[in-house]
Structure 1
Amino acid sequence: MPEASANPRSLMLVLHDVAPETWPDYEPFVQAVDALGDVPMTWLVVPDFHRRNPLHQAPAFCQMLEHRLAAGDELALHGYAHADEGPLPRTPVEYFMRRIYTHEGEFYGLDEQQALARLQDGLALFAQQGWPVAGFVAPAWLMSEGTRQALRRLPLKYTSTPQHLYRLPDFTAIDAPGLVWSARSAWRRELSRVLCNWQCRRWQGANTLRLGLHPVDMRHRSSREYWLRTLQKLLEDGRQPLTKSAWLERQVAA
């Protein structure tokens, strides 16, 4: 059988910053995706988003996630609080990364023991809920060296950055280009549209393409509709929708 038939092109639909607070933003979009048919999604779940969304206090939300698991979706650990709680930045580079690029780089400055403690707390919560977990994605994709070392000590299968999935524990990089919007302002949304359209053309022949959605995308009609149209087009082009774990297993088997 030709390789293209055995391993067809794919896409991964990934919802970032999943929490009780952000579910109302996502719910109409998820309903629209469900109406398209069988499109499994990877949900990046934050155990206590901004320290005001503890999952153990949101049983209805957790039940919804369990239904998504049963339907074939995947839940991955996405930080713990998704908030930068470290000391004030000490260098210009650190200031840029933690105050201009993002205020949510939770794992950017943690040492190994700090990162390990947060990761273990997050995994313990997943275990309490009975949720399987194979992946961890750092908020804003920012990981310190200490975080990388901590990940090597845990029974996780992957982590990711904007352009790669990394098989753990050895951090083997696998190309998995991703599209993402910055939707906080009108000019950012227009720039994101232009950039993502260019990236779609550039990566037309890529083995896979990740769509990285955020709650703020759902609050603006232009970005919300862009993601739905792009998903529909990729499906019409013959790309198979997969969760991150399913896609990674395919790479291992290839």
Structure 2
Amino acid sequence: MKTSLLPTIALSSFALLHAPLALAGDEPLVKAASVDLNGDGKPEDISLETQEGPKGFGYVLKVGAATVNVRSDAEVHGFVIIDIDSGDPRKEVAVHTGMTDHDSASTLYAFDGKALKSLGSVRSPIEAKGNNIILSSTWQSFWTRVDKYVLDAKAGKLDHVPQEFYFVGQEAKVRESFPIFQQRTTSKPVAQLATGSAIQVLLAVPVTVPSGVKGNQKVKAHAFLVKSSTGLVGWVSESVLSSKTEGLPFAG
């Protein structure tokens, strides 16, 4: 499993004069800042108190007199200031929790001058460039899934933009011959991939597959669209791709 390390956390007890205004995984996380969040020209004092105990994790986020108290499934590490929409004077707070590919997340908050409101949570790392869009990256064993969220300012929440397929863009070598199929739901082959041949893994689509345990339980996985060395394209399951190829950047 690939583990992404979070940026260094600033543990200063005093409010910083400025906090980062972008987030792409490179900015330091802080626990205190002084920034104008609602665009009234007056900076707000922002602080984050992290909690850890027998019942799990949590945090208290304060902006001026506004406070939110939140339970968390993972350890809380700090926050950064981001600007989702550079066309308005407001900025947002992104609180980071978790450290691994499975639990790393960002919860985004807006401040209207009186109260804090959660805009939603997305997987980390995220990217905000001021165009009203958040891009969220999630490591998926050997590829990165990128999801898009758009801020609905009127509703005060991030809306996920669905994709039928996700781009993979990885190359591998066939270690043991296997077929690729016309569709994800059929057993009609397009080609039998030759041992030693090179392939390109183009796209992924989420699917549910049997778990292999009693009770017909289903688990989430992906099916992959593969291009052969001869230019033919077909589908293969995640289990076959992982067991019969080599060269994919699986993290141990």
Q: Which has the larger radius of gyration?
A: 2
* Higher helix fraction (1 or 2): 1
Please confirm whether the aligned pair reaches a TM-score higher than 0.5, indicating the same fold.
no
Structure number with higher relative contact order (C-alpha < 8 Å, ≥ 6 residues apart): 1
Report the TM-score range of the alignment, normalised by the length of the smaller protein: under 0.3
How high is the TM-score relative to the length of structure 1? 0.23
> Could you say which structure has the higher strand fraction?
2
TM-score between the two structures when normalised by the length of structure 2: 0.23
